Structure 1
């Protein structure tokens, strides 16, 4: 059964809370476990749950339907995308690009000049990030550090 095309005009980010943690954890584990195994890393549910408590959590929504979630943190310089995962049925439909654009807007609103993330070097999502204007700025073992500049308007 195929998923009908999404109406991208209905996309929005909605706060996630403790009731959404199990779905986010499971989605992240399923998406990331092959990379963890490829690079000899150990997935630990408790570590995910601890990070959930101190990060900003957002559901990626189309109307009332949850398509995935993203997890954010920030410092004085950048908004960090810690996680961005979509349910498999909603990948490659423009949703990820929409989320990245929305987060660029959030970084701008927060007066942060950079949007940053880390991605496994073998993860094809890095091509989405490159198309969205991110640059590879370093490597930490199996992870690529990527960032894009957020234009700041002079007042």
Structure 2
């Protein structure tokens, strides 16, 4: 059973940076990509940053960007010990509802092809639209996909 989950703008930069860097270091190293704290800091400034709380404990971070038509999921990161408990699906439901309230037509994200999170996104209505050797750009059409509201 999913414990109480709350998504709120209360999130610290230091927690988000450490969590994201720790979760992504395997993929960055594997694909020979250098992590840059300055790049993360710059992206943090232009993102809408949200904390994911379970029982009063911050267990994850969401970073969103948007334009006139789309909501872009820049990050959905969870502490390893809470992954696989339905929190990611709960967060995607929240983001979907937020995007629809904001009258966005689609949600978009980029994920490493070898990241198991790709299956979470597929289960939640995302489809691969483009791919290269290591990354996939996925979209969820909000005008067609209203099943989770």
Scaled by the length of structure 1, the TM-score of the pair is: 0.88
Q: Give 1:15's aligned residue.
A: 9
What displacement does 1:106 show?
Answer: 0.5
Alignment partners' CA distance in 2, 1:51 and 1:42: 16
- 1:108 and 2:100 correspond: yes
What 5-or-longer segments of structure 2 have no aligned partner? none
Q: What is the DSSP-based 3-state SS (H/G/I as helix, E as strand, rest coil) of the residue aligned with 2:84?
A: coil
Q: What is the DSSP-based 3-state SS (H/G/I as helix, E as strand, rest coil) of the residue aligned with 1:93?
A: coil
Alignment partners' CA distance in 1, 2:32 and 2:122: 26
What 5-or-longer segments of structure 1 have no aligned partner? none
Trace 1:41-56 onto structure 2 (pairs within 5 A).
41-56=33-48
- 1:26 and 2:26 correspond: no
Q: Give 1:133's aligned residue.
A: 125
**Larger gyration radius, structure 1 or structure 2:** 1
Q: Give 2:76's aligned residue.
A: 84
Alignment partners' CA distance in 2, 1:34 and 1:87: 15
Q: What is the Cα-based RMSD across aligned positions, in Å?
A: 1.6
What displacement does 1:142 show?
Answer: 1.9
Alignment partners' CA distance in 2, 1:141 and 1:110: 33
Alignment partners' CA distance in 2, 1:151 and 1:102: 16
What displacement does 1:16 show?
Answer: 3.6
